[in-house]
């Protein structure tokens, strides 16, 4: 078997166009532009790249973006103060605090300080609770991206055996909540799982988010399964620039799986597209406008 390769770049481009169209509609009919504020603390190079990409994506979709770059020695109180001010800024519909934060700042206290209505990451405890309760909420972007990609190759997820490898708050747990809401039977496997390969082999749907380069091989996969690879690992590549690989050995896995998302070009592009989507959704809900069809 050779797996269908799920084209995350194409799906993300389509979603970004749809977001741009929704934003243009809001400007024309309701006379406002949805706005996203991103806060970056310190000099983490990867975080700088993410924030720059977010700025460009907002511009392409016709959203307003506001960036706040704070020094690495910013105190928790200073950051909380900024988050608070953005909460009352009418131009701002979404607030994103780029993680990780420097060690003197407790990310949980910062996230808890974000207005849940503007929490476009979906990390606020109130929004996590709503997600697990099956209530309408702002859904964490990478998890939402995984679900959208799954739906491109599988129309009914109900009853499927889903295994999520990885239990992070950013991806593993929210993906599990979304799959449960789709009526999958879910298992969360992680670094302390006794025999992760055996657990993964029973999955009709396997989502891998562990940050271990090419951990999952073909013999971890049930024939015909759908595999979503969330990993982004930079491997140094003799002399040449770093090579990006996922948490799945894609070439090996593609001989067994029914469909697989590649790295790069799978889940990665979906995250920013879903962030733009959440910003427009948050903008509508704050104003009592019905959700755009995105």
Whose CB is nearest to ligand GUN?
Answer: 99
Q: Which is nearer to ligand GUN, 111 or 253 (CB)?
A: 111
Task: For CA atoms 206, 174, 121, 109, give the dihedral sign.
Answer: negative
Q: How far apart are CA 178 and CA 140, in angstroms?
A: 10
CA angle, corner 7, sides to 281 and 144, nearest 5? 30
Q: How far is the CB of 140 from ligand GUN (least distance, A)?
A: 7
Judged by CB under 6 A, the stretch of 15-23, 28-36, 90-98, 259-267 that binds ligand GUN is 90-98
- Of 121, 204, 247, 249, the residue at the interface with ligand GUN (CB under 6 A) is 121
Tokens of 78: 């200073």
What is the distance, to the nearest Å, from the Cα of residue 92 to the centroid of all Cα atoms in its chain? Answer: 20
Q: Choose which of 5, 70, 80, 99 interacts with ligand GUN (CB under 6 A).
A: 99
Tell me whether residue 249 is one of the annotated catalytic residues: no
Q: Shortest approach of ligand GUN to residue 111 CB, angstroms?
A: 9
Please state the closest distance from residue 101 (CB atom) to ligand GUN, in A. 9
Q: What are phi and psi of 279, to 5 degrees?
A: -65, -45
Listed ranges 93-101, 125-133, 191-199, 238-246: which one lies at the site for ligand GUN (CB under 6 A): 93-101
Look up 121 and say whether it is catalytic. Answer: yes
Closest CA to 153 of 226, 207, 224, 254: 226
Nearer to ligand GUN, 199 or 282 (CB): 282
- Residues numbered 139-158 forming contacts with ligand GUN, rule: CB under 6 A: 141-142
Contact present, 178 and 139 (Cβ < 8 Å): yes
Taking CB under 6 A as the criterion, the residue among 3, 57, 79, 97 binding ligand GUN is 97
Beta strands in the chain (DSSP E): 4-5, 35-41, 64-70, 94-97, 161-165, 185-189, 205-208, 226-229, 233-237, 240-245, 259-260
Encoded tokens for 119: 């929490």
> Please, which residue, 207 or 254, has the CB nearer to ligand GUN?
207
Q: Which is closer to ligand GUN, CB of 44 or CB of 60?
A: 44
54 is an active site residue: yes
Residue 142 C-beta: closest distance to ligand GUN, Å: 6
CB 251 within 8 A of CB 285: no
Among 37, 92, 96, 228, binds ligand GUN (CB under 6 A): 96
With contact defined as beta carbons under 8 Å apart, do 82 and 70 qualify? yes
Nearer to ligand GUN by C-beta: 245 or 256?
245
Could you give the CA distance from residue 196 to residue 189 in angstroms, rounded to a whole number? 6
Which positions touch ligand GUN (CB under 6 A)? 96-99, 121, 141-142, 170
Residues forming the active site = 54, 98, 121
């Amino acid at each position: 078997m050779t797996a269908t390769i799920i084209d995350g770049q194409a799906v993300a481009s389509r979603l970004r166009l749809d977001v741009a169209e929704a934003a243009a509609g809001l400007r024309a009919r309701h006379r406002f532009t949805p706005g996203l504020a991103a806060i970056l603390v310190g000099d983490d190079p990867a975080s700088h790249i993410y924030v720059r990409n977010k700025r460009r994506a907002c511009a392409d979709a016709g959203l307003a973006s506001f960036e706040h770059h704070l020094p690495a020695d910013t105190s928790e109180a200073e950051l909380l103060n900024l988050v608070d001010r953005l909460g009352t800024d009418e131009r701002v519909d979404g607030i994103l605090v780029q993680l990780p934060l420097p060690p003197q700042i407790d990310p949980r206290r910062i996230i808890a300080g974000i207005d849940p209505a503007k929490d476009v990451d979906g990390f606020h405890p109130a929004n996590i609770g709503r997600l697990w309760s099956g209530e309408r909420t702002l859904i964490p972007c990478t998890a939402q991206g995984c679900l959208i990609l799954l739906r491109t190759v599988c129309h009914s997820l109900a009853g499927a055996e889903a295994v999520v490898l990885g239990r992070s708050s950013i991806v593993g747990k929210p993906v599990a909540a979304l799959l449960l809401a789709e009526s999958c039977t879910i298992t969360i496997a992680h670094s302390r799982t006794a025999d992760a390969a055996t657990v993964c082999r029973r999955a009709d749907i396997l989502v891998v988010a562990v940050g271990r380069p090419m951990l999952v091989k073909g013999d971890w996969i049930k024939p015909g399964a759908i595999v979503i690879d969330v990993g982004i690992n930079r491997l140094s590549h003799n002399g040449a620039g770093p090579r990006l690989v996922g948490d799945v050995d894609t070439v090996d896995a593609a001989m067994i799986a029914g469909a697989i998302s590649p790295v790069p070009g799978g889940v990665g592009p979906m995250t920013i597209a879903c962030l733009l989507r959440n910003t427009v959704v948050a903008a509508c809900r704050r104003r009592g406008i019905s959700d755009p069809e995105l």
